[in-house]
Structure 1
């Protein structure tokens, strides 16, 4: 009986170790996929979206570091959903069905490089 309990404990600990290693590998894989993007970010109570300057594709935004939402709020807009120019570092992932059916992908923001009310001339100008 004692040997049986030890075997169960061993299997449980092995499962925990494998799970922990897989999470670390996934996080490292996401960090290796980091890219820099430029575009327009809009934020409000029901939506966080990013429009890529180069092709106007729109993405749902997940702010993993909570700096993007804070920086947006610090710009002092009186109403939500005002677009701002941003340069971000992050990665794209498939959107889940809960987020929104309007977005194919989600931009996970890891770092805010620049945020400005002034939208530069060029592909980002509306």
Structure 2
């Protein structure tokens, strides 16, 4: 009976520790949130974001599922047409086992601020 109680206590403690670690990671990601402006392209095999200020390209993960939907609503006949976006999100290391491995980092989108077919003059203009 004593061994059973110890096992239960150990399982509870491991659960608490795992939950605390997950919350720390989520809090760390929230503190790294940035607002970025750039060009987003979407298609069957590609979801990329090019930062206006320096031209770096990132793989995109749409954690809120609004970016892809908003892109689709713009009504492009062909995929991969770039659009101007202002997004809130954070950068994470790309997964080496997927297509995103071709990119150094992944932009994880947490909020879509603006999406437009009209690309403003300046560093984002092609």
**1:1-126 correspondence to structure 2 within 5 Å:** 2-100=1-99, 101-126=101-126
SS state at 1:81 partner: coil
TM-score (norm 1): 0.97
Distance 2:52 2:8 in 1: 54
Give the C-alpha shift of residue 102 in structure 1: 1.9
Q: Deviations over 1:21-51 (max 9, x none)?
A: 1101110110011000000000001010000
Distance 1:49 1:99 in 2: 14
SS state at 1:59 partner: strand
Q: How many residues align?
A: 125
Distance 1:102 1:7 in 2: 47
TM-score (norm 2): 0.97
Give the C-alpha shift of residue 99 in structure 1: 2.7
| Consecutive unaligned residues in structure 2, runs of 5 or more | none
SS state at 1:92 partner: strand
| Consecutive unaligned residues in structure 1, runs of 5 or more | none
Distance 2:21 2:64 in 1: 22
Runs of 4+ in 1 over 6 A off after TM superposition: none
